[in-house]
Amino acid sequence: MNNVFYSNRTNRHFCLAEMDREVQFLLYYMPEDSGKVQAVIKDETMWCTLITEYVTSNTLSETDSDIFKKDCFTLHREMISLVILEQLNVLADETRHYLIEKVSNHGGHVGPNLGMVEATVALHYVFNSPVDKIVFDVSHQSYAHKILTGRKQAFMDPAHYNDVTGFSEPSESEHDHFVIGHTSTSISLACGLVKGRDLAGGKENVIAVIGDGSLSGGEALEGLSVAGSELNSNFIIIVNDNQMSIAENHGGLYKNLQLLRETNGKAEVNLFKAMGLEYVYVGDGNDVATLIDAFQKVKDTDKPVVVHINTLKGKGLKYAEEHKEKWHFGGPFYVETGEPKFKSTAEDYGDLTGKYLLEKMQSNPELVAITSGTPTVFGFTQPRRVQAGKQFVDVGIAEETAVAMASGIAKRGGKPVWGVYSTFIQRTYDQLSQDLCINDNPALMLVFWGGIESMNDVTHTCFYDITLLANIPNLIYLAPTCREEYFAMLDWAI
């Protein structure tokens, strides 16, 4: 194999030091007028020294630097693992550009993905996916991961927008390991990958990525507990802390996350250490170089470790950074202003419900609205949450606690109303059956978006609730066909 390459574009030589003849490589040329050359090695374990000489004859334009459109540049870990930091930052910028382009035209999860771009680039730089396993919680923040693992066309070409789902999907790529769409599951799933690897004598890294909002779900805390006590081998848990769930976070554990941020990870009180986990803090979770350094330190670790990264939800869109709740998810919008491209004139039953309940609260101080992390499902926007005061409770992403708490409120004579999307009610079947209905406590549950015409991802189908719940004793299930029937049912139930 020759170890000197000549570029007739720049009239310069580019030398590779002595290398194993089995090393596979390619030269990636930037556009001819830029005169920039980059060498990328497929297997760095076989190289001794790589010398890459950059020659720039003029400033790169946005079009010139659009590395996604070069057929010779495969966005796979084999191709990006040795790209220099400058190019990784270009890669992050262009990833964010195509994320914004797609969600503004197609809709989707905006804020969660924009805040995870740099971390995703750094993960794929440091780790060897799919040999190293990356499991995304909820996986609604996996768009950048999809771009970097061979699915970029689904973000660049409108004709291919629907080629991929909005969540991780193994049928799309070997880099996705589970079909995931609900929250708080990644740590427990990854615990299984760790145990399975250890039983088989494997050596790969296992990485779980979870947002701070998802930590309010019981399964996440269960997974942390198991990881810190029952596993004693390589396991890396990335906690993406953007100080948000869909809305603001609720729960005592967030006081500890805040303390850790304020002390640069040095606070004596540390939830993760208390569970037996090693801990690393990254103050700027949107800086590629800092993230790479942190991930390299924990790569191939022989014990479970949490890497706590402080990120900015919605990064790259000013209005998404400033109004994080609104920009968690949305339909198509104009990038320049953030205004929606399509406006519905239909009645919003969530909004109607919020107004109705606030009016009822004024005459009934024992009426309380409960949400499990999705307050706007029944119209409780931030101003209405403030107006409701102590008659509004957000338990975090903890549907089980919401139902059990509703049962307790009813037992004490209160009037609990729990609002929930149909797809999430299945997460609390046991509490509905055991804690609520067997005890015959009168609580009102408002199930939104039920039916086949709402959400359509396989993880978010909304037509199971009637068949799931209909045979639970003491449960009355009503399905209104119009606004008048709906409010008549609410009056009767309250």
Cα 343 to Cα 176: distance, rounded to the nearest angstrom: 34
Among 313, 324, 385, 415, the active-site one is: 313
Cα 417 to Cα 2: distance, rounded to the nearest angstrom: 73
Cα 480 to Cα 494: distance, rounded to the nearest angstrom: 16
Per DSSP, what are the bridge partners of residue 16? Answer: 50
Is residue 197 flagged as an active site residue? no
**257, 335 in Cβ contact below 8 A?**
no
**76, 46 in Cβ contact below 8 A?**
no
Cα 310 to Cα 294: distance, rounded to the nearest angstrom: 13
Element housing 295 (H / E) = helix 288-298
> What is the identity of the amino acid at 33?
D
Q: Strand pairing of 235-241 and 392-394? A: unpaired
Among 94, 118, 219, 399, the active-site one is: 399
Is residue 313 flagged as an active site residue? yes
Burial of 60 (0-12, 13-18, 19+ CB in 10 A): middle
Per DSSP, what are the bridge partners of residue 133? Answer: 206
Other Cβ atoms less than 10 A from the Cβ of 434: the count is 14
Cα 125 to Cα 438: distance, rounded to the nearest angstrom: 53
Residue that the structure tokens 């061979």 belong to: 150
Is residue 366 flagged as an active site residue? no
Cα 362 to Cα 151: distance, rounded to the nearest angstrom: 52
Catalytic residues: 313, 399, 427
